[in-house]
Amino acid sequence: MAIKIISEKPITMAELKEDLKNIKERDSELNFRAQKTEEYLNYFVGLDSSQVKELSDKIDQLNVPRFKPEHIAKIIDTLPQNVEEAKVVLGSYPITITNDNLKKIVDAVKPYIEIGNKQIKKQEAEIAKIKKAEEDAAKAAEEQAKAEEENKEEAEKANEEEAGEDSEAESGDADEDKKESAE
């Protein structure tokens, strides 16, 4: 059965991050591709969904001619810092926007750039903590495995030495028996 698409709506990376969070809570686990997407979004998305909604409304209120929701989503995802960056971001779309309108868009985005950067740094610190904890756990497991291997080797050596002493004692008893029988 073919899938029928009822409607399409562009979403920002922040909204996708929120959707993945909801899916993770619902299913308790994400598939491999969704996990990789979540990792990417954790590195590059600094705004939460409420900030995205607020910024989207601000850009929409600028009433830029022919500016569609997919353009707004792309602007929010990239947060251009100047007019040239905004031109590059919108360069792949068949749309012409005046420099004045681009300037308005960049001015609307500017307050959110610092917010996004702060949140990304915070997320990077959290990710670094998690990676450090994982590395420490791996190192501890490696050291424990090494210690267990050394204990095993020591136990084997002790068993070999015991076996050697027992065989020497048995051969010593056998020698005494031979001496007694020879007498």
Q: How many CB atoms lie within 10 A of CB 173?
A: 10
Q: Which domain holds residue 39?
A: 13-161
Q: Which positions of the chain have pLDDT values less than 50?
A: none
Question: With 0-12 CB in 10 A as exposed, 13-18 as middle and 19+ as buried, what is 116?
Answer: buried
Note whether residue 4 is domain-resident.
Answer: no
Range list of β-strands (E), the chain: none
Residue 32's region, left for phi above 0, alpha for psi from -120 to 50, else beta, is alpha
Note whether residue 167 is domain-resident.
Answer: no
Note whether residue 136 is domain-resident.
Answer: yes
pLDDT number for residue 175: 54
Which residues have CB under 8 Å from 140's CB, separation 6+? none
Cβ(13)–Cβ(44) below 8 Å: yes
pLDDT number for residue 122: 79
pLDDT number for residue 22: 93
CATH for 36 = 1.20.1250
Total structural domains within the chain: 1
pLDDT digits (tens, 9 = 90+) for 141-176: 899 989 888 888 888 888 877 776 666 555 555 555
